[in-house]
Every structure is written in C-alpha cells, then in structure tokens.
Copies of this chain bind each other. A is one copy, B any other.
Amino acid sequence: MRKVTIGMLGLGNVGSGVWKVLQDMSQELMEQHQVQLNVKKILIRNLRMDRGLVLPEGILTTAPEEVTDDPDITHVIECMGGEQPATDYMEKALKNGKTVITANKMALALNWRRLKGAAREGKAGFYYEASVGGAIPIIRVLNDSMQANRIDTVMGIVNGTTNYILSKMTDEKRPYEEVLKEAQELGLAEPDPRADVEGHDAAYKLSILSTLAFHKSVPYESIYKEGISKIQVEDITAGRDLGFVLKLLAIGKKENGVMDVRVHPAFVQENHPLATVSGAFNAVYLHGSACGDMMLYGRGAGSLPTAGAMVSDLISSLDSSSFDAPDSAPETLEQPAVTDNWRCGFYLRFSALNQPGVLGHITTKLGEHKVSISSIVQREAVDETGVPVIVITHSANEKDVQAALLTIDPKIAQVISVLRVEGR
C-alpha cells in the first residue's frame, strides 16, 4: 500500500468536492490502485466559515507555506481559482518538487510557460485535466490518444453559463437580460457575469485546448473574443427556423501552419453533434487526420465532476514515469501565425425596404466581395420599419463579408445582425 500525503489550496465548491471524493472513494482507491490518500493541510481564507464538512482537528490553515513548503506533502491540489495568488502558490509547490493538480484555466492560460518552467525546474508533475470541460477527459485524450493524428479542428462548448443562457433563450424564446437575471438568481451565473458572457472563460480554455491540439503555444491574447450579451432572441428564432442552433463556440483551427482561434456565438446545423449539447453540459468536438470526427460530452463544471477529474489526475500521476505532465505542448517562445481573416459561413439579418430590387442590391454587393449565398429568406414585415431579410452565406472570408456590408446602402437595407455559422 502506497501512502500519499496531500495538501489542498482552497476549500470552496471544488475543494469540498475533492474532499468528498477522497472520502467516498478511499476504499476503491485502496483496492484498485493500492494507494491511501491522506490530506494533511488545507489552505483557506476564513477559519470560522462553516463548510458543512467533518474535518480533522488542525487540518485547516491560513498559511500557504504550510502546504507549499511542507516536505511531507508530495501532491498539491489547487482549487482556489483566479490568477493570483494561485499561480504563485502553484509555482512554489512545483519548484519544491510537489506534483500539482489544478482546475484553474485562468492561471494556466495566462501563465503556461511560467508554470511549466517551474514544473521542469522542480522535476514535478503538473496536471490540469479539470481546467477544461470539467469531467470531460479532453486533456488526456489530446495528450495520450491523438498522437497519430494531425488535428485540424477543435471546437467546443466549454462554458456552461453561456450554454445555459443560450439554451433557455432558444427553448423559451426569452430575451438575454431576463434569462441572465434568472441564471444569476439560480447561482448559474456570477453577480458580475462578464468573464462568462464576454467569452473570457471560454478563451482561457481554448488557449489550453489549441496549444495541446496544435503543438504550438496559443496565447490567450491571440484569441478573438466576442460574447453573447448582444444576442437578440429574434436571431436565435430565425436561425432555428432555418435549421440552426446558436452556441457560444470556442473554435481552434489550423491550416497550412496558420491558426484560427476565436470565441464567439455561432450557428451550427441542428444535426451537428454540438447542436444537442444543451443546458450546463459541455462538449468538445475535434477532427483529426486519422480519427475523423470525434466528440466528448459531459458535465463541464460542478463540484463533483471537477473534483473527480482532479482525483483521477492524482491517481494517474502516481503511475506516470515522467515527472512532467504528459503533454506535447512546445516550450518554445515562437509565436504562431494567427489569422484575423478566417473563413466561415455567415448569418446576416437586414431590415429592408419593401420594394423590388432590394434582394438584388444585397446579393450584388455580397457577390462583388466574393461572398456567395446559400439561402435567402424574406419575411413578412412586422411593422413599418422594414422587411426582415435573412441571408445565409457559404463559407466566406470575415473581411470580405465586413467589407461587403459597408457597401450596402443603409437606405435600402440596414444591417441588423451579423452572426457566424460553423460546421463541418
């Protein structure tokens, strides 16, 4: 029987989950993996807070060095969240040779080199399965099951809050503000929801996913971000009628060595595997040269799903030969080429004059910019302000579409909404 002494950083939602999983699974972990896991210290901020857990006397501490510097502790589970002080604590623990397991996508995406460098310096394992997709084992799959693949696309629904909001807006045809407020009341969205609804959280995760998928460092800053706060329910409904579902997608593509990395709302066809991922579920779709299409689906957040991924990481680390985390991300400082002129389909909604020649004007202007049309729908006017015209384009360059829209005469057709369409 191997004994492992653990230190924990944080005992909030995820930390409590880790504690519960360690208690719940102790018998199985002994039987199946011949290991006994003991938590020696847990760093918290407030010693008096009631967490509803039965904890051994003296296990809680407010001194980080009691976790990061204790030579008895060989494994540190970081579940504080936030960039700092989590990054500093993890760095210290790694330099001290402790295996670190984290769910902290923000700290990781913003400090990838620093943390990986500390792991190398301390000859320490560094594991972060729980940082993307909660319980979904996408990190392990990218690192350990895709070696024979040249991955060209990784595309995910990786933020539960926005997926919940968009699913509700779609199913119940309710406006963004109303659904956000409800999500906040249910605890599914933060009081300050910007990290989720503006796409930052998804971009942290995309930085990690695309770095692993493409074997090139993809910094958070290089990712284009657009959130869901301006989405109008009219567009969701109109797209639905045309067979599309709106999702906040984290999209990574690589073609001829050039990256295309972006987070924005996008329509996917209703028969795409990602279209049925609703509510708080997450999914990551990928396409590789050998495997073809693949998708992993599961709970993207939550106390137990995240904690389970972290404890599984811990067990894996015990069987690993390499001190470093098993990943094939490069350590070079070379920045990848990132395009800002990606290709995808577009959904365009106009408010047009109700007179002959309007559709001709729109299609001509788009055609002049090499934007070809897949379908066009003119709807009945809802009021005197204009006739809704919806255009779905074939795959086109972002900049061509933007340029074409500038040449459409607003007195003839006003551009109301521009949304992207993804698929394959």
Residues of chain A at the chain B interface (Cβ within 8 Å): 17, 21, 24-25, 28-29, 31-33, 129, 135-137, 140-141, 144-150, 215, 271, 273, 276, 281, 288-299, 302, 304-305, 307-312, 315-316, 319-322, 326, 328
Among candidates B33, B295, B302, residue contacting A328 with C-beta atoms closer than 8 Å: B33
Q: Is the CB of A24 within 8 A of B289?
A: yes
Q: Using CB atoms, name the residue of chain B closest to A304.
A: B290
Q: Using CB atoms, name the residue of chain B closest to A330.
A: B32
Among candidates B149, B215, B290, B312, residue contacting A149 with C-beta atoms closer than 8 Å: B312
Q: How far is the CA of A311 from the CA of B144 in the complex (A)?
A: 11
Q: Is the CB of B140 within 8 A of A308?
A: no
Q: Using CB atoms, name the residue of chain B closest to A292.
A: B299
Q: Using CB atoms, name the residue of chain B closest to A311.
A: B148
Max count, chain B CB within 10 A of own CB: residue among A32, A291, A295, A308: A291
Q: How far is the CA of A224 from the CA of B147 in the complex (A)?
A: 36
Residues of B within 8 A of A322 (CB): 319
Max count, chain B CB within 10 A of own CB: residue among A129, A273, A321: A273
Q: How far is the CA of A305 from the CA of B149 in the complex (A)?
A: 9
Residues of B within 8 A of A312 (CB): 144-149
Distance in Å: Cβ of A129 to nearest Cβ of chain B: 7
Contact (A145, B298) CB under 8 Å given A140-B140, A304-B292, A328-B33: no
Q: A21-B148, A291-B305, A294-B299 are in contact. List 6 more A-B contacts (CB 8 A).
A: A25-B148, A147-B316, A290-B307, A291-B304, A295-B295, A319-B322
Among candidates B31, B140, B292, residue contacting A305 with C-beta atoms closer than 8 Å: B292
Q: How far is the CA of A308 from the CA of B141 in the complex (A)?
A: 13
Listed from nearest, the 5 A-B pairs whose CB atoms lie closest are: A290-B308, A321-B321, A148-B311, A137-B145, A135-B291
Distance in Å: Cβ of A150 to nearest Cβ of chain B: 6
5 sampled A-B residue pairs with Cβ under 8 A: A17-B290, A144-B316, A290-B309, A295-B297, A320-B321
Q: How far is the CA of A135 from the CA of B315 in the complex (A)?
A: 25
Q: Is the CB of A298 within 8 A of B290?
A: no
Residues of B within 8 A of A304 (CB): 289-292
Q: Is the CB of A148 within 8 A of B315?
A: yes
Residues of B within 8 A of A276 (CB): 271, 273, 276
Q: Using CB atoms, name the residue of chain B closest to A20.
A: B290
Q: Is the CB of B290 within 8 A of A135?
A: yes
Q: Is the CB of A298 within 8 A of B305?
A: no
Distance in Å: Cβ of A188 to nearest Cβ of chain B: 16
Residues of B within 8 A of A21 (CB): 148, 290
Q: Using CB atoms, name the residue of chain B closest to A315.
A: B147
Q: Is the CB of A291 within 8 A of B295?
A: no
Distance in Å: Cβ of A278 to nearest Cβ of chain B: 9
Q: Is the CB of B291 within 8 A of A148?
A: no
Q: Is the CB of B32 within 8 A of A215?
A: yes
Q: Using CB atoms, name the residue of chain B closest to A290.
A: B308
Contact (A293, B288) CB under 8 Å given A147-B29, A273-B276, A316-B147: no
Residues of B within 8 A of A321 (CB): 319-321
Residues of B within 8 A of A305 (CB): 290-292
Residues of B within 8 A of A326 (CB): 319
Residues of B within 8 A of A295 (CB): 295-298
Q: How far is the CA of A310 from the CA of B144 in the complex (A)?
A: 12
Max count, chain B CB within 10 A of own CB: residue among A145, A146, A273: A145
Q: How far is the CA of A304 from the CA of B294 in the complex (A)?
A: 13
Residues of B within 8 A of A309 (CB): 145, 148, 290-291
Q: Is the CB of B296 within 8 A of A296?
A: yes
